[in-house]
Amino acid sequence: LTQEETGNMSREIKLAEEHLKEATKAVKTTMFKWKPDWETAAEEYTKAGQQYVLGKNKEKALEAFKSSGKAYEEWGLSKYNAAKAYENGSNAARDLKLYEECSQLVTKAAALYRLEGKSDSACTMQEKAAKDAEKSGRFEDAMTMYMDVVEIRETESQTRRIKQPLDRAIQMSIRARKFTKTIEFLNKEATVLISLKEEGMVHRNWLCRIIVQLAASDFAAADQLFEEAITSSFATSEEQVAADQLLNAYDEADQEQLTAVSRHQIFAFLSNDVAVLARNLTARGGNGRSERQAQVHQLKMDAGAPKLVVKPSNAAAAKVPAASTKAAAPVSNDSEPSGGDAAPAGADGEDDSDDDLL
């Protein structure tokens, strides 16, 4: 800092202290002043905080803004200004890397904004704080703040505006490795998407839930989700094919196939963190799903391919003379002997009629 800048900072600090004195004076009571003047105190604390910020003293700025917020609350006639003071305090706390205090002040400010009917201001502040938390690697804090935004939008019946913060909360929960929360949020997202009739997005949501369960090493839950999903329009979607292949590769502990499936283009349309989760899956083996599928498939094929068996009636067989077999036409040398009466067509289950049905 230059000498001039240092002088300016000292001047700002001096002004801030003067405002603090005025605020302290406004709060005090005397023989002739029975009640504190909270309005004046709040204004003076705010001015002190602003001067401290200019003077680069964030610690004292934080304390001044907190005092301003409390004074406005005591006054009781301006929740908006109280919220603004706490918001300024949260910015100072963030700069000081006091993240827990920052979160507390953000929560206070958001609640006051909502009481004043300023839900958009509350959401904007929460989202800003969540992004800061995300950048600093505090993924669980970011997740909580994004879900606070979701809760506000839900209360205000702003269904369409839930999608973005909810998606961010899902991604933060994945980065924080809180897969139980991820599933909870994905379930909520499914409800929102169904209400908005976004069928394609619902298909992606099913696939995301299956991927997360596999990432949590819960193959049984992933397989159960798949069975539930195919009772809906998901059964005819591209996501269903991808999910089926993913589950089979995982079940067979085929890492090469699992990696190949996760590189399919369909995964590029998922949220970035879910796509990364899919690419990093480890094929640990399941519970024999693919083998059971093959058995079920064979049973279905067998049930769907009727056998044609021709049996002569007893009456017809009785009319055939015993010597008639001797008069039978001779067998060509090119053909193989039958070893007795020829079997009716289809009796061995391998005739052409079966191939046509298959």
Asked if 255 and 279 count as a contact pair (C-beta separation under 8 A), the reply is: no
Q: Cα(209)–Cα(302) distance, rounded to whole angstroms? A: 34
Q: Cα(301)–Cα(244) distance, rounded to whole angstroms? A: 20
State the Cα torsion 29-31-33-38 to the nearest 10°.
10
At a CB cut-off of 8 Å and minimum separation 6, what does 201 contact?
193
Q: Determine the pLDDT at residue 207.
A: 97
Q: Determine the pLDDT at residue 349.
A: 43
Question: Residue 9's pLDDT band (boundaries 50, 70, 90)?
Answer: confident
Q: Determine the pLDDT at residue 32.
A: 84
Q: Determine the pLDDT at residue 50.
A: 96
Question: Residue 241's pLDDT band (boundaries 50, 70, 90)?
Answer: very high
Q: Determine the pLDDT at residue 212.
A: 97
Q: Determine the pLDDT at residue 296.
A: 55
Q: Cα(295)–Cα(286) distance, rounded to whole angstroms? A: 16
Compute the average pLDDT of residues 342-350: 42
Which of 74-83, 93-102, 158-167, 329-338 is the least confident region?
A: 329-338
Give per-residue pLDDT as tens, 66-118.
Answer: 999 999 999 998 999 999 999 999 999 999 999 889 989 998 999 999 999 99
Give per-residue pLDDT as tens, 44-54.
Answer: 999 999 999 99
Give per-residue pLDDT as tens, 171-212.
Answer: 999 999 999 999 999 999 999 999 999 999 999 999 999 999
Q: Determine the pLDDT at residue 157.
A: 87
Q: Which amino acid is at 195?
A: S
Whole-structure pTM value? 0.73
Contacts of 301-305 with C-beta under 8 Å, sequence gap 24+, read 301/358, 304/357, 305/354, 305/357, 305/358
Tokens read off for 170: 């899902």
